[in-house]
Amino acid sequence: MTDFEAIDALLAGAREEAPLPPAGERRALREELNLSQAQVAQALGVGPSTVGGWEAGRDPSGEVRDKYAYFLEGARTKLAERATARPAGHEPPTAEDEEGGPQASPHDGDGDDGDDGEALHREQPCVLCGRPARHQVAGFPQHLDPGECGTAPTGESDARTGSESAGTVRVVPAGRRVRTADESPDPIREAVAAALAAHFGDVEAATAALVARAIPDAMALLDGTRRGGRYDIVAHPWIPDILRKQTARGPDRIWEARPKWARPELPTGRHQVTALDINGAYLSALKTHLPIGQLEHSSGFGHDRRRAGVHLITPPVWEHDAVLPNPLGNRDEPGPLWVTEPTLRLLLRLSGPKYALCDPPEIHESFTSGATENLLEKFRVALKEARERAIAEEDEVTVEYVKAMYSKFVSTMGESNYNRELYRPDWMHLIRSQAFANLWMKAYKAHEEGLVVVRAMGTDELHVLGEWRRVFPEGRGVSEVKVKDTYTVGCDTDPVAADEHGD
Amino acid sequence: MPQHTGDFGAYGARGVKGSEAVARQLDTLAGGIATPVTTRRGLLARLHYLTRTEHARAAAREAGLTVTDRTLKAWLAGGRSPSRPNLERIETAYRAVRRHNVARYLLGRLNREGRGTRVELHPLNQSQVPRPRQRFVEFRTLNVRHWDAIVRAWTEGDLQALDDAWTDQIVDLGSQWGQYEYVTNVGFAA
């Protein structure tokens, strides 16, 4: 039985082949419509030479034959319409016809609604401009009037000339392709919006919630910014013993050169001291030479600028303690010590001919790896831009969130139980040292510009005497400083009177 | 070299078995009492951990701490102190019970509901190998999704089973997996 059913189905499926006009007419029809072989071939899904073959006398078969017959039939109908319309004073073919848009397709002649398309019951987005349209042509919702449609004829010329208009979109490179700029996700903005929504606009609660999840969010952001990057982040390398904590709470053996310096004496008289605060010190310090892979030991090879890590050095003598802080911080113990790459580079720089402030340090041994400054660069820029935008919009929630992200990221990237994704105590030390080296360079700049540096302490605090505004711009950006405090020091009494009083 | 290493270190390569590094990392993640058992503080902390509840006592007994309750009481009171072999027994019992208690939570964090954990494989150290015999072995990472067998073997202290379970995972590295049987470090977080 099944055999007969199959035969019946076969007979029902068999159709007679669609009739085609003779070969010479096929070419004429196509050329009358100003269509190239390639355009027709693309619409039919065959090669251009195949279309050429059909026009030379070969006959297609099967499904393609039906399509080709449909095209030729449509072309003939369209030409017949044009022939009747032209004497009535109609315009020659519009731009849309020549563009090869949906209107130029053979659907026009298939008898459903002619050129006008069908009216839609509900508005649907136009396939050309995306705005709601009330008509459809061959199943594609679109505006029939080019004036209503936002893109149609103008979009193409704009994209070619690159002129600014509402029709263009900003694109950014993404890997080997491009994508529109607003398509790229902004996790910081999304997280802030979600937190505010979850706490019904309660700013304090939202800030607390965001700060609590800052570490995993920072790690997710880091992963996102490293996508397609040249180097993998090596999160769990072998760590030399000098970078391991001696006890559970104790420190390891790296000297980070944290400045804690106060000028020993000031000129007599009354002085107005300004305590300046460097904005986002750790955020800026994310740009530093970081070792990529596992640290390797070497001894006595001097300094290789392409590598970074920690070094055992004998520091040079510092003779400018009266006016400038020691770049090594206030180290009491004499003898060799383990310093990080930024401190060593600062010392090497200061010993060079340009500064000539001290002798070069003596390097004994090093744990280094190939280094790059760009490992955290995209991460830093993402955070910096979010911070700048939030400051411009006075969005304190985002400011606090970004601050928690970068500061907690730095403080937990070592052996911390709060962040087990990343186990790089070397990076933690290097980034901190970079912040201290940056502060030292700011102190040096102030000294060079004629200010009196009174104190340099912590990560970001610089106390100066004098007109500091001409040296440092004031503001909240990362390249600017803000005033933390102003106070007066000294007394107005002249030194002779003070001496007499003391006696 | 897609098979087990026959005679590791014959040409001077240095490293540890991958499974050993995994066990070490799991121990680090499990945490525990850092003070050594030889000090009074460390000893008391371990004894308290092993005798707090009836369940803990039973687990300790099963883990090899087969002393009478009277002895335990005397140790805790400070009247007597354990002998050197007994100190070792306390330490092993503590490690075993600790692993057993932590395993369930560690497993949950490592499997992450099927998403698994990214594992870094740091290749063996070839610095002492003669130059012609050195091979290029790169840093590799691997997402391990099924930790059950690994954590079970680690909990039971069964080194052979742990090695087998770990080998089952690293064969996913491809035909070069044999180069990663010995490593300098295996890094992962939980």
> Please, what sign has the CA dihedral across residues B24, B30, B33, B38?
negative
Nearest-CA distance B187 → chain A (Å): 5
Assess contact for A475 and A253: CB atoms under 8 A.
no
**pLDDT tier, A158 (very low <50, low <70, confident <90, very high otherwise):** very low
Among B120, B128, B138, B142, pick the best mutation site for testing chain A contact (most A Cβ within 10 A).
B120
Share of chain A above pLDDT 90, in %: 48
Report the range of poorest mean pLDDT among A157-161, A215-219, A314-318, B10-14.
A157-161
Chain B residue with minimum CA distance to A298: B127
Chain B residue with minimum CA distance to A239: B185
Interface contact B143, partner A, CB < 8 A: no
Q: What is the pLDDT of residue A498?
A: 43
Q: What is the pLDDT of residue A384?
A: 95
Assess contact for A44 and A53: CB atoms under 8 A.
no
Q: Who among A236, A247, A248 is closest to B187 (CB)? A: A236
- Sheet of A461-465: strands edge to edge? A260-262, A452-457, A461-465, A271-278, A481-489
Q: Is the CB of B189 less than 8 angstroms away from the CB of A293?
A: no
Nearest-CA distance A499 → chain B (Å): 59
Q: Is the CB of A235 less than 8 angstroms away from the CB of B122?
A: no
CA A479 to chain centre: 20
Residue A106 has pLDDT above 50, yes or no: no
Interface contact B120, partner A, CB < 8 A: yes
Phi-psi domain of A228 (left: phi exceeds 0; alpha: psi -120 through 50; beta: other): left
Contact list in A for residue B29 (CB cut-off 8 A) is: 420
Segments making up each domain of chain B, as ranges: 16-30+109-187, 40-104
Q: A469 versus A232: which is more confidently predicted?
A: A469
Assess contact for A115 and A103: CB atoms under 8 A.
yes
Which CATH number is A3-85's, of 3.30.519, 1.10.260, 1.10.3210, 1.10.3470? Answer: 1.10.260
Interface contact B138, partner A, CB < 8 A: no
Residue A367 has pLDDT above 90, yes or no: yes
Residue B44's contacts (CB-CB under 8 Å, 6 or more residues apart) are B76
Q: Is the CB of A421 less than 8 angstroms away from the CB of B139?
A: no
What are the tens digits of pLDDT across the range A425-436? 999 999 999 999
Give span(s): CATH 1.10.260, chain A.
3-85
Residue A94 has pLDDT above 50, yes or no: no
Report the range of poorest mean pLDDT among A128-137, A413-422, B85-94, B145-154.
A128-137
| Phi, psi dihedrals of residue B69, rounded to the nearest 5° | -60, -30
Contact list in A for residue B186 (CB cut-off 8 A) is: 236
Nearest-CA distance A423 → chain B (Å): 9
What are the tens digits of pLDDT across the range A249-276? 788 899 999 999 999 988 888 999 999 9
